[in-house]
Amino acid sequence: MELHELDQLGDEIAELSAHIEAATAHLLDLIREFDARGGWNSGFRSCAAWLSWRVGLDLGAARERVRVARALGTLPRLAQALARGELSYAKVRALTRVATPETEERLLAVGRAGTADHVERIVRGWRRVDRIAEARETARRHASRALHVYQDEDGMVVLRGRLAPEVGALLVQALAAARERLYQQARANDAGPSPADVSAETPPADVSEGTPTLAQQQADALALLAETALHSGIDPGAPGERYQVVVHVEGPVLADPEAPGQSVLEDGAHVPAETSQRLACDASRVVMRHVPEGHVVEVGARTRTIPPALRRALHHRDRGCRFPGCGLPFGQGHHLRHWAQGGPTTLSNLALLCRRHHRAVHEEGYQVERQPDGELRFRRPDGQFLPEVPPPAAVPADPVQALRARHEAQGLRLHARTAIPGWLGEPLNVGWAIDVLHPLAR
C-alpha cells in the first residue's frame, strides 16, 4: 500500500511539473511580447533588469529568461514542445543556445529522446564544433583582409578592398560623419553672402555637375577623412585628453534650463541645458569671466564638483546606483538640488546614480527627492511613485487547481508521462551523436 501511494505521489509530481512547463511557455511568450514592445523602458536598463525588480528573479536568471524567450520566437517547434509540457524548461534553455530554424527539428528529437544531462552534454559538444568552425571562418576572413590602391589609365586612383567587419563598421561610421560635415558646409555656403559681396575673382560654380550621387559623396567624404588625418596628425593624443568632453555653459542656464544663454560643446554643437546640468553634477569645473564682447578676462582654477573625500563617503553609503531595481556598483554623483540652484554639495544632497539613470533623472522627466527619514523617493515622468520593491502579484487560493483548469480549457491533457524521455538506458556517445547531428561535423 505504501509503495502504491509513493507511485501516486511521483505521478502527481511529474504531472504538476508538466503543468509548470506549459505555464512557463506562456510566461516566455508574455516576456517576449513585453520585451519587443519596450514595456520595460520605464527607467530600467533592460527587460532583464525590469524582471529582476518586478518578479524578484536573480539578474542572471532574468537575462536567461529573456534570451530563451527571444530565441523561441524563431523556433516554433521547441516553443510548442514546451507549451505542451513535453520538454522541460531546462532542456529548452540548453537547446536554444545552439538551435537555428535549420537545425531545430533534429535538436528537438534530441530533447525528446534524452535526459536533461544528455541534452547538456550534446549541446556542449555542438558548441565546440560551432566554435571551431567560427574560429576557422574568423581566421579566414582576417587573412583575406586587403586594400588595393592603384592608378587607372585616366589618372584616377582606384580603391578596392576587404575589411574585417568591425573595421568596416568603423569606416562606414567615419564616412557618414564626413558626409554630414560636408553637407553642413554646403548648406552654410548656400546661405552665404549675396552675389554682390562675392569677389569677382571667385570662379563660378560648375552648375552642370548637379547634386552629387551617393558614390560621389562617399569619395568626397574619404578625401575629407584623409585631409583631417594629415592635418591633425595620426596620433590622436593622450587618452585623458582624447576622451575628454568639454561643455561651455552659462551660469544662468545651469540654474534654470529656460534661461537664455549658451550650452555648447567644444566644437560649438548645441546641447540641451538639462544635459549640461547632468554633466555639471559630477565633473571638473572651471569658471571663466567674459566681458560683454566675449573676450575671456579671468579663468579660475579647475575644481572637482564633488571632492574626493566626499565621493568616497557617497560610494560607501549608497553602494551603487539608487534607482529602483538597478544597483550597478559604479555611478555618478547626482545633486538632488543642483549646486547651480543653490543646492549644497553635501552627503544629504547627493545620491549615486549610474549613467543611464542619471540621464533619466535629468533629461527624461524622472524625479528623485529625499524624504525626512533619509530614504529616496523616485517618481516616473507621469508623477507615479516608483517603489523600491513592487507589490506582490495576486495569487489564487488554490494555484495548482487554477493552473490545471487553465490548461484543460486550452485543451492540454497533461499527465505523469507527458515529459518522459525516450531513453532506454543505453550509454550516450556524444562524439558519434555530434557527427550525426551537426551539419558542420563532417
| pLDDT of 214 above 80 | yes
Rounded Cα gap, residues 34 and 50, in angstroms: 11
Distances (CA, A) of 115 to 18, 280, 391, 420: 15, 57, 38, 9
Side chain identity at 331, as an amino acid letter?
A: G
Check pLDDT > 90 for residue 293: no
Q: Which of 89-98, 245-254, 292-301 has the highest mean pLDDT?
A: 89-98
The stretch 64-85 carries a mean pLDDT of 95
The contacts of residue 244 (CB under 8 Å, 6+ apart) are: none
Q: Kind of pairing, strands 332-335 and 350-353? A: antiparallel
Q: What is the pLDDT of residue 113?
A: 92
What pLDDT sits at residue 207? Answer: 41
pLDDT at 130 over 50: yes
| Mean of pLDDT values over 90-98 | 95
Query: What DSSP assignment string belongs to 53-85?
Result: HHH---HHHHHHHHHHHHHHTT-HHHHHHHHTT
Q: Are 65 and 57 in contact (CB under 8 A)?
A: yes
Higher pLDDT: 262 or 429? It is 429
pLDDT tens digits for range 390-432: 888 788 888 888 988 989 898 988 888 888 888 888 888 888 8
Are the beta carbons of 15 and 415 closer than 8 angstroms?
A: yes
C-alpha cell at 133: 568552425
C-alpha cell at 339: 549646486
Share of the chain above pLDDT 70, in %: 86
- What the block records as the C-alpha cell of 432 is 558519434
- The per-residue pLDDT for 366 is 92
Helices (H), 264-354: 273-281, 308-318
Q: Hunting for cell 516608483 — which residue is that?
A: 386
Summarize the confidence of residues 111-135 as an average pLDDT.
88
Q: What does the alpha-carbon distance between residue 218 and residue 202 come to, in Å, rounded to a whole number?
A: 26
**pLDDT tens-digit map of 220-250:** 999 888 888 877 666 554 444 444 567 777 7
Torsion sign over Cα 305, 309, 315, 317: negative
pLDDT band at 68 (very low <50, low <70, confident <90, very high): very high
* Contact status, residue 376 vs residue 318, Cβ threshold 8 Å: no
* pLDDT tens digits, one per residue of 157-180: 899 999 887 788 888 888 988 888
Please report which confidence band the pLDDT of residue 194 belongs to, taking 50, 70 and 90 as the band edges.
very low
Bridge partners, 290 (sequence order):
296
How far lies 223's CA from each of 16, 132, 157, 379, in Å? 68, 40, 12, 50
Q: Which residue, chain included where needed, has cell 538640488? A: 337
Query: What are the two backbone dihedrals, phi and then psi, of residue 339, each rounded to the nearest 5 degrees?
Result: -65, -30
Query: What pLDDT score was predicted for residue 292?
Result: 60
> What pLDDT digit, counting tens, does each position of 101-113 carry?
999 999 999 999 9
The torsion angles phi and psi of 44, rounded to 5 degrees, stand at -95, 150
Per residue in 2-54, pLDDT tens? 888 888 899 999 999 999 999 999 999 999 999 999 999 888 889 999 999 99
Q: What is the mean pLDDT of the chain?
A: 83
